[in-house]
Structure 1
């Protein structure tokens, strides 16, 4: 049945019955229709038209598009029919069989050890796997890179900057056995590491600081997400925690982290046409769904938006189940709740949020719950948009909100806001969110609200918020107590704000999305058309890998937390594999799987499958530490090889996929930009905060981004801090294949165009930096040309010039001046490549 579901149900299933044939209902498939006789003849595969069509033996070949059934799949169906075509479920109901797959990436991580070898070349397990593949191909590794090359490679790779001449000289002269390992540690401890590697993740997260589409308005408060990623990498935040925070950071005291969900483009101009407006919303949700699946699971889930995936075991229902997880997420700004310094270790719960808060306690029998406020963040009347009280249940999916008015909950209070047009007491437990459906107390700074239940209940948590739609942040209770009323009419305190960190409201906002309980369940859409809704779909994971077991009306935040924890589980076969492969790609230029965001059937299999699984298991076993993964890879002999070509190896493996050498590659635009500034002596290493813009200021309703023609110290920070404009890469370094933020970019291209050379040679920025470079040489080397040339080569290439270069450089300076020589150095190929 899973084979039929994948290959046949799109045209012969619940939504379409081409040729009057339906294959998901037993009695129809066996009886046939007016235009088509029985497709399946139980006990007679050879006489079943279905087998003839899927095997290519009939007048038609099915399916007409997408992946054809393999001979093994045809054999499975044939054996099933010959055995009587046993069919699960009722004869008149659509079949529902769990998906299964033998695709390599969907299998559990293999428990594997590095192949045994006595080779002295092997520095760690990475090398054992690499060497085994080389031997199989009749190849041998290259000799080690020299120390100048090695430090330069490590710095560009992990920091995105060249080492200084002094750092290079010290490492070259250091003959201690552990000199390299100590260098790796120093590099990983540098704050420049987070700045360099954050860009790789921001490419995958499709991060930019404008909305895109025709207006392309700026998002002035999007930058905190960029800073969050940099800090997470520098702190070596465990990757599983990093995942959970980006999908549900609002539940964990990391409000800025959910910037991941809304980092993509957003069409803010809504259409008056209902169908178009609904499609815009579907596009927003599809962007969140696709990006999460692509970035974290390496699967092209978006292909199942209109029909079952043609190649992978992903049903259309799976797409909408994932979409249901994000159904309550909207683009917009939310209050930036900043954790106190050191808060991660103080054992206290996150500070209160204007959006949603949860207070848990031991299960207790109660007849009522009272929420008493002693202070608000603004000093004004306390406000609650909903007071939820949840029943205790062994499975959270079975819990119910016993405070709801529709379940008999009766609200009362210390006094109600005079303006009852909106802020009525009945709003306290009506199941609706937002300021327009909130209750506000009568007195400033204090008050209480209470809900009595229809009958005594065993409860274990209270969920509340000030405005879960994210519109208002004032009137937020920051000093409060929650009490329960027992059967003897005694009140008992079960939770207080004292268990939380202090609320620090700086008035700052962050573009990290807003969250609200979806008003309607998510429905599967026929052919992806929002005007053709089908059955309701509960929020869930991919059915081929498991289930979240959530109900249709699961609380909004709970949906994202459940999915995040499912993705971040060590039992998920994709998560660690995908991230390990991304890290490998950025170290060697290409991943073990060279389709880093497609681990499905259309992707390529890994060149070293055993190594991939071993690295993934090492990653998990070492606490999902990215720095430990970098340490392992950078310490391998494979990473430390020379990069010189060898004819006998090129004849067998021209792309160096087997790693018989270290594959050289061109630097990305950011590293070229930053290296130029460092060499010129102008680089500003200020970290964090709002970025700098490569475009002239403008405040047009429809933004027009004109490149700057003059650059000063404000534009001399690292490029990670440049304001990213969607659909408009910067005019100079954007030509080096920088993504435009329109979609996930798992792997940048490496084009060679005339505009790249023209930008580096003729742009105002490069001419100015050449002049600053010349001024630096005069200051550090004096007026003697030999000294100036030597210092320039040491700064740019970490080496001395050879005799030919020395003569040519002096002639250039004599003829055209020192700035012209500096300009030529900044345009050299040697500066553009990881050695």
Structure 2
């Protein structure tokens, strides 16, 4: 009798078949109705293997058991090393496939995964694997590692609904699942959503009036175009890129000294406003110093400044550190950033060993590492001190003449030296070694610069430097670059990406909810010159984007996560834009673009309680005047003590690359809106402006509501707020009014009645504290 063995344990096919017939027949029958007609390796089988099997039978050779790789068909179909008469998978024959026999048995001595692993396949997963083997066990390359092709637009029943190509893919999925899309949002809510998404600010009253009065077919598109042209567009879009690029105003670590990387931030805003193509935008930041334009001083200085992107990482200034350990840390940071930001890959998992889930070896990690390993830098350059330590070598100095004639987009407010950390390589490349267990002092085999071939082989015509890596990255055949960026932009407008795990397109990441749509967008983006504004306009012009956010009980029950996009998303806006809404609606906002970061109101003692006591950032010295009213993106970020109000609203502290922020809902957020000096001051200032207008109390309340919430209040809302105002007028005394109004530095008009001002301030503050105020819906 033929024996079947798996992982060193043998048992007869007859007994196995008997066990199978006793234990699995009813399970398979029970789940058969849920199994697709054609089982896909990419979308049905690979996720199971990734979750339950690849830790022991995946790419990591050091952790592999029994010499078996289940992610590699050559290994899976081959005879088992220890028992050549047995095979893990026999195409078409589940009963002869050790994988199926072991996952379906009830014998705990033979069961896979082993019970001790606390992993277990469900009956549905077992049935999927059984049917996949019956259908020939066809392996497929991971979907994200195959260059996207532009699919044809799908056919839909509701042909009058789509407004552009995006909608066909979305509607097809809805119709397959029995959903129908929401109606379009009303004009007021749609305008607020659009304005927050494109410029990060609520729409002005003038824009509200114009849009509401315009009944032409192009009314919405005209507003889209108008907002895309505003300088505030570049500021809004830059915020997510600053998270990704880990931009901050301090070096990090214990001393956490001041740094001057803000000119790079000015460049990002400028590049986005001028609609620099994404391939160029990326290339300049990765390798602007290597581009062949040194004879063109104006162009070269912009390209060099762009490389500040790769110098935003934390840098130590502490004495007693081991320089090489920290230098290796800086290179590691750049390498991991490259993987997460541009490839959507968790490359850092291969820093110490082969990746456990993706086909990425430790050797390939250090081959990529080699591109970033020749920067003219040291682990520690100096101790905390004067302006020369605000940037670390290699650096560029930006003169007043540069700002006047070349780098005109830089907002340089004084005549002090301005220096920025940028990229520049040594004349001779540093040798790069595989670091055993990732230790800086344990060099192993020497490696040469190369990109992971499983993504795309490195073109021999490309130079083996960062410029060549940038060319490889934006190669039209690279399967990841366009997909990853399109997904990040989608996330900005819909709350989550088509691939929910926007930083992980690998085998442990989520599958795309609309894979054909993702591929169509990626290819279309490349076909149209990597045009970012065009991509943004496509998304916001779609019927999918314009839907109402109203959710019916049946949709909430059947699709609570809105996977099928049968309604618009509803979520709180980012921390920076919470501040921007408050400042803009009150009239306090200073709309200056760019320049050094500012220090607005902050609770006392935070920096002083967490500092080495050295440098410009050892004590918090609050700014005054116009600096108090800048947009949230310009608030100074000290990495060890980030701005508390921003942190409470889930802003990044910019330690590492972050492509997706958390979204939490905590009581602390409500406390900020009720007590933060900026919110209270804005309430006072707006109330004072309204009191100086010749209008009724109801008119003032209505105007405040429109400025803040961006819609006309209902009759009941006006009645409630008016009643509250009358009660406050009777309750507030001159003494209590003085106390209420004593917040913020903006002056109180001399002629205003302070009791009336305090009462109206309470009403305005109440409107600021409505959930709707800081919610995109």
2:634 aligned residue: 721
Deviation at 1:331, TM superposition (A): 5.8
Deviation at 1:134, TM superposition (A): 0.5
Residue 446 of structure 2 aligns to a residue whose secondary structure is strand
Contact 2:395 2:422 in 1 (8 A): no
Instruction: Evaluate the alpha carbon distance shift between residue 814 and residue 614 of structure 1 in structure 2; reply closer, same or farther with a 3 A threshold.
Output: same
Question: Which of these residues, 758, 761, 769, is aligned with residue 827 of structure 1?
Answer: 769
Question: Which of these residues, 561, 566, 581, is aligned with residue 472 of structure 2?
Answer: 566
1:215 is aligned to 2:255: yes
2:359 aligned residue: 313
Instruction: Evaluate the alpha carbon distance shift between residue 47 and residue 614 of structure 1 in structure 2; reply closer, same or farther with a 3 A threshold.
Output: closer
Instruction: Evaluate the alpha carbon distance shift between residue 739 and residue 791 of structure 1 in structure 2; reply closer, same or farther with a 3 A threshold.
Output: same
2:422 aligned residue: 512
Structure 2: distance between partners of 1:470 and 1:762: 44
Structure 2: distance between partners of 1:621 and 1:713: 44
Residue 536 of structure 1 aligns to a residue whose secondary structure is strand
Contact 1:158 1:193 in 2 (8 A): yes
Residue 504 of structure 2 aligns to a residue whose secondary structure is coil
1:734 aligned residue: 647
Matches within 5 A, 1:159-558: 159-219=199-259, 221-252=260-291, 253=300, 254-269=303-318, 271=320, 277-329=323-375, 470=394, 508-517=418-427, 520-548=430-458
Instruction: Evaluate the alpha carbon distance shift between residue 783 and residue 331 of structure 1 in structure 2; reply closer, same or farther with a 3 A threshold.
Output: farther
Instruction: Evaluate the alpha carbon distance shift between residue 654 and residue 625 of structure 1 in structure 2; reply closer, same or farther with a 3 A threshold.
Output: same
Structure 2: distance between partners of 1:101 and 1:193: 41
Structure 2: distance between partners of 1:534 and 1:777: 71
Question: Which of these residues, 668, 680, 685, is aligned with residue 772 of structure 1?
Answer: 685
Unaligned 5+ residue runs, structure 1?
Answer: 13-17, 24-28, 30-37, 79-99, 334-467, 475-504
2:384 aligned residue: none
Question: Which of these residues, 145, 153, 173, is aligned with residue 106 of structure 1?
Answer: 145
Structure 1: distance between partners of 2:145 and 2:197: 31
Instruction: Evaluate the alpha carbon distance shift between residue 161 and residue 655 of structure 1 in structure 2; reply closer, same or farther with a 3 A threshold.
Output: same
1:281-336 deviation digits (Å, cap 9, x = unpaired):
22211110000110001000010011110001111111101110000125699xxx
1:802 aligned residue: 714
Deviation at 1:519, TM superposition (A): 5.7
Contact 1:331 1:512 in 2 (8 A): no
1:449 aligned residue: none
1:755 aligned residue: 668
Instruction: Evaluate the alpha carbon distance shift between residue 709 and residue 784 of structure 1 in structure 2; reply closer, same or farther with a 3 A threshold.
Output: farther
Farther off after superposition, 658-667 or 760-769 = 760-769
Unaligned 5+ residue runs, structure 2?
Answer: 1-53, 70-74, 90-96, 104-108, 134-138, 292-299, 380-391, 399-414, 729-758
Instruction: Evaluate the alpha carbon distance shift between residue 528 and residue 641 of structure 1 in structure 2; reply closer, same or farther with a 3 A threshold.
Output: same
2:657 aligned residue: 744
Structure 1: distance between partners of 2:460 and 2:327: 23
Contact 1:300 1:597 in 2 (8 A): yes
Task: Considering fraction of residues, name the structure with more helix.
Answer: 2
Residue 576 of structure 2 aligns to a residue whose secondary structure is helix
Structure 2: distance between partners of 1:644 and 1:754: 25
Deviation at 1:562, TM superposition (A): 0.6
Deviation at 1:823, TM superposition (A): 1.3
1:430-449 deviation digits (Å, cap 9, x = unpaired):
xxxxxxxxxxxxxxxxxxxx
1:650 aligned residue: 556
RMSD (Å), alpha carbons:
3.7
Instruction: Evaluate the alpha carbon distance shift between residue 144 and residue 60 of structure 1 in structure 2; reply closer, same or farther with a 3 A threshold.
Output: closer
Q: What's the TM-score, normalizing by structure 1? A: 0.68
Residue 135 of structure 1 aligns to a residue whose secondary structure is helix
Contact 1:709 1:764 in 2 (8 A): no
Deviation at 1:730, TM superposition (A): 1.1
2:11 aligned residue: none
Contact 2:257 2:615 in 1 (8 A): yes
Farther off after superposition, 744-753 or 610-619 = 744-753
Deviation at 1:707, TM superposition (A): 5.8
Contact 1:664 1:833 in 2 (8 A): yes
Contact 1:297 1:575 in 2 (8 A): yes
Residue 208 of structure 1 aligns to a residue whose secondary structure is coil
Structure 2: distance between partners of 1:755 and 1:674: 19
1:815 is aligned to 2:730: no
Question: Which of these residues, 105, 120, 143, is aligned with residue 160 of structure 2?
Answer: 120
Structure 1: distance between partners of 2:283 and 2:769: 43
Instruction: Evaluate the alpha carbon distance shift between residue 706 and residue 669 of structure 1 in structure 2; reply closer, same or farther with a 3 A threshold.
Output: farther
Structure 2: distance between partners of 1:472 and 1:688: 19
Residue 579 of structure 2 aligns to a residue whose secondary structure is helix
Deviation at 1:151, TM superposition (A): 1.1
Residue 823 of structure 1 aligns to a residue whose secondary structure is helix
Deviation at 1:42, TM superposition (A): 9.4
Residue 651 of structure 1 aligns to a residue whose secondary structure is helix
Residue 776 of structure 1 aligns to a residue whose secondary structure is helix
Residue 654 of structure 1 aligns to a residue whose secondary structure is coil
Instruction: Evaluate the alpha carbon distance shift between residue 52 and residue 178 of structure 1 in structure 2; reply closer, same or farther with a 3 A threshold.
Output: closer
Contact 1:670 1:719 in 2 (8 A): yes
Residue 639 of structure 1 aligns to a residue whose secondary structure is helix
Contact 1:540 1:549 in 2 (8 A): no
1:327-360 deviation digits (Å, cap 9, x = unpaired):
0125699xxxxxxxxxxxxxxxxxxxxxxxxxxx
Residue 686 of structure 2 aligns to a residue whose secondary structure is helix
Deviation at 1:662, TM superposition (A): 0.5
2:172 aligned residue: 132
Deviation at 1:783, TM superposition (A): 5.8
1:398 aligned residue: none
Contact 1:693 1:722 in 2 (8 A): yes
Structure 1: distance between partners of 2:479 and 2:571: 30
Structure 2: distance between partners of 1:123 and 1:513: 44
Residue 546 of structure 2 aligns to a residue whose secondary structure is coil
Structure 2: distance between partners of 1:658 and 1:52: 38
Residue 821 of structure 1 aligns to a residue whose secondary structure is helix
Contact 2:396 2:420 in 1 (8 A): no
Deviation at 1:534, TM superposition (A): 1.4
1:812-835 deviation digits (Å, cap 9, x = unpaired):
323331111111122221211012
Contact 1:782 1:788 in 2 (8 A): no
Q: What's the TM-score, normalizing by structure 2? A: 0.73
2:198 aligned residue: 158
Instruction: Evaluate the alpha carbon distance shift between residue 633 and residue 206 of structure 1 in structure 2; reply closer, same or farther with a 3 A threshold.
Output: same
